[in-house]
Amino acid sequence: MNNIKQIIKSKPRWVVLLIFSYILILGVLKWRLSPDISTVFYLFGGLFGVYFMDLADLVFDIKPSPFRSIVFVVLFGIVSFFIVTSSGSMFAAGLVLSLYFTLLLLQAEEWQEYHNLNTWFTLGMSRPPIKAQRWIVLGIALFLVLETLLFIR
């Protein structure tokens, strides 16, 4: 229980607010101020998704984290696309959308600090040139935009 409290406290407040604002705005756009019970499940899923990566890292305790790799991001993108477009679970939709946004923020933070995403290419992959890494991040961001638009349709 102390580990969970530590995870919640360690996440920068601006990150939580940014991701949850994204989830709230999507909720307003989807339900148009006429929420139902599925909206509550969606919001809980979104909030859980904010901390999911930290909990997974704590539970599995593998270094380097397999969840912070480009392989995971691509595979997760496929799964999240299926969940957003085909699943009836609003909890799952909120979770994957906020988790995808969290992954994108983690990449942006690393890019800002190191000007590359080299640590995301650790699972047996060769590191692509910086220009290719930019295109990969852009593709990931555009895919999140696509999922967002499909969700609010």
Q: What is the pLDDT of residue 92?
A: 94
Task: Identify which of 27-41, 50-64, 82-96 has the greatest average pLDDT.
Answer: 82-96
User: In the chain, how many domains are there?
Assistant: 1
> Please, what's the b/e burial string for 114-153 (b: 16 or more CB within 10 A of its CB; e: otherwise)?
eebbeebbeeeeeebeeeebeebbeebeebbeebbeebee
Q: pLDDT tier at 79 (50, 70, 90 boundaries)?
A: very high
Containing structural domain, residue 119:
2-152
Q: What is the pTM of this model?
A: 0.87
Q: pLDDT tier at 1 (50, 70, 90 boundaries)?
A: low
- Taking residue 45's Cβ as centre, other Cβ atoms within 10 Å add up to 22
Please compute the mean of the pLDDT values over residues 108-122 and round it to a whole number. Answer: 88
